[in-house]
Amino acid sequence: MMLSENSKFYLKKLIMVISGLFVLTSIATFFYGEIFLRQTIQQHLILRPNSSRLKLWASPPVRLYRRYYFFHIQNPDEFLDGAKPVLIERGPYVYREILEKRNIEFLNKNKLKYNPVFSLYFEPSMSIGNESDIVTVLNVPFAGMIEKSLHVGHFLPIGLLFDYFETKLFVTRSIRDIVSGYYDPLMHLAKETLPHKFTDDKFGLLLNKNATERPFLLVETGANNTNNIAKVVSWNGKKKLDYWNSERANSIQGTDGSFNPPFLKRTEKIYTFNYELCRSYSMTYLRDNVIDGIPTYDFHLPSDIFSCSNMKKEDFIDEKCLGNGVYNLSKCQDGVSSFISQPHFLNADEKFVNSVIGLKPDKDKHDFIIHYEPISGTPIEGNVRLQISVFLFRNKNIDTVKNINPILFPFFWFDEKIYLEKHFKDKLNDLKFGYKIVKCLPYVLLLVGLLSFFVLSGPKAKNAIKKTFFKKKKLIKDQSSTSFLERISFKEGNTINI
């Protein structure tokens, strides 16, 4: 059926209108499409009662494994006589970790509180040995008692106390004992004399922590500002800490570590509050990366985070600094000089590495690093790596330590490995794909609109283009011919009769 001239005219008009709409839509999408997508993503991330996002936040879709490495001493007797300790790293001893958030309660649309819980289960198939393996490590209660003795002078016969309880500077125990807890006579004494501080007569890394509700955290939901999702407002009822001598050091900054604001930038710092470190800390951008096909921004602990100058600037030390790369936790650990550092004293002063035999700091093995998907701010993978050491003092009144060289003695380090579950990685891949479509859509719509307009212009437009093209081509040809004749007719003033 042939269309009438009138129908053709109106059809062309309709197609022109549609082409114009494509062009206008492409312009609108170019300016507002990404903004709309960002707002949609941000709204989806807000923590609301009974929302899917709240369920993901409460029970994160991650596999977590904590790997313990213990520093076994080979020459305990020689060390007591003044020699350097010879240490052998024993590990990894791997524990599967399950994170929970219990007793979630919304105070209003902007704030909620919860009790964090982590439960660890030994994974023999991923470990170097069994929990029954025996190691000889530093006796931390003993080391703490030595330090306390320096503050009480000669009035307390600490040496006789050690002899009475038959305790030594080093203990030989199973991995299970060290991790889960074992009876210690010095801890029993502390419990009897200071019951308000010590509630157990055991010592262990996870004692009273494993599968136990920790003090509650109050966090923001992001309803007012999505950049504040999971930002910590208070811990255990405190809006600021009371361990340090300045408001700046005691301030609580950043999230609880389970979530970070979306649309990360390389220039940003990521702040996290960690109550076990008794402080907030920041991570900085390291590099771009790709994990399982997902582009990531890698953030890590800056190399100077535990430097003397940085800790003085942030008011975490107000007295003489022991050295770069180590952070003194004694103010929040009942006065025992325990120190946090990166494993094997990575990024610390050489004196700490050289004071023992057996340490080999390696950035690839020991750096604290998290891989974030930048659109959603979701951690894809990561390694939280830290070391605990205890400072040992010489005391001439205690036979055990009267000949030792004062030393920051490594106890253990851990590597908390994070893996995001595959089904959630697939969702992030979909998000990445959708984000790319929104970025490309304006150009696609513009191209469709212009092509439609060009096709609609019909043969007349094509003939006009052809005429213009051939006219230009003929002009160029004529100019070329004239130029050639000029060159052969007027060369150096000579003439040629044709």
Higher pLDDT, 365 or 490: 365
Instruction: State percent of the chain over pLDDT 90.
Output: 53
Q: Please tell me the distance from the alpha carbon of residue 341 to that of residue 349, in angstroms, as a whole number.
A: 11
Torsion of CA 208, 196, 249, 319, to 10 degrees: -110
Higher pLDDT, 465 or 407: 407
Tens digit of pLDDT for each residue in 163-189? 777 889 999 999 999 999 999 998 888
Look at residue 79 in the predicted model and tell me its pLDDT: 97
Q: How many CB atoms lie under 10 A from the CB of residue 398?
A: 20
Tens digit of pLDDT for each residue in 317-336? 867 899 999 999 888 876 67
Distance of CA 152 to the CA centre of its chain: 42
Domain boundaries, the chain: 5-42+433-488, 62-420
Report whether the peptide linkage leading into residue 459 is cis, meaning its omega lies within 30 degrees of zero.
no
- The one-letter amino acid code at 423 reads H
Look at residue 493 in the predicted model and tell me its pLDDT: 43
Q: How many CB atoms lie under 10 A from the CB of residue 10?
A: 12
With both helix axes pointing from N to C terminus, report the angle between 158-165 and 140-152 in degrees, rounded to the nearest 10.
150
Q: Please tell me the distance from the alpha carbon of residue 329 to that of residue 390, in angstroms, as a whole number.
A: 10
Look at residue 89 in the predicted model and tell me its pLDDT: 98
DSSP class of residue 126 equals G
* Phi, psi of 483, rounded to the nearest 5 degrees: -60, -40
Higher pLDDT, 211 or 485: 211
DSSP class of residue 238 equals B
Work out the mean pLDDT of the chain and round it to a whole number: 83
Cross-strand bridge partners of residue 295: 290
Tens digit of pLDDT for each residue in 226-274? 889 999 999 999 999 999 888 989 999 999 988 888 889 999 999 999 9
User: What confidence category does residue 498 fall into, taking pLDDT thresholds of 50, 70 and 90?
Assistant: very low
Higher pLDDT, 44 or 123: 123
CB of 222 within 8 A of CB of 228?
yes
- The one-letter amino acid code at 294 reads I
Q: Does residue 434 register a pLDDT over 80?
A: no
CB of 266 within 8 A of CB of 255?
no
Look at residue 489 in the predicted model and tell me its pLDDT: 42
**Residue 291: closest CA among 201, 374, 214:** 374
Cross-strand bridge partners of residue 386: 414
Look at residue 487 in the predicted model and tell me its pLDDT: 42
Helix (H, G, I), strand (E, B) or coil at 389: strand
User: What confidence category does residue 459 fall into, taking pLDDT thresholds of 50, 70 and 90?
Assistant: low
Q: Please tell me the distance from the alpha carbon of residue 53 to that of residue 207, in angstroms, as a whole number.
A: 32
User: What confidence category does residue 453 fall into, taking pLDDT thresholds of 50, 70 and 90?
Assistant: low
Q: Does residue 460 register a pLDDT over 80?
A: no
CB of 298 within 8 A of CB of 286?
yes
Tens digit of pLDDT for each residue in 471-495? 544 544 554 444 433 443 434 444 3
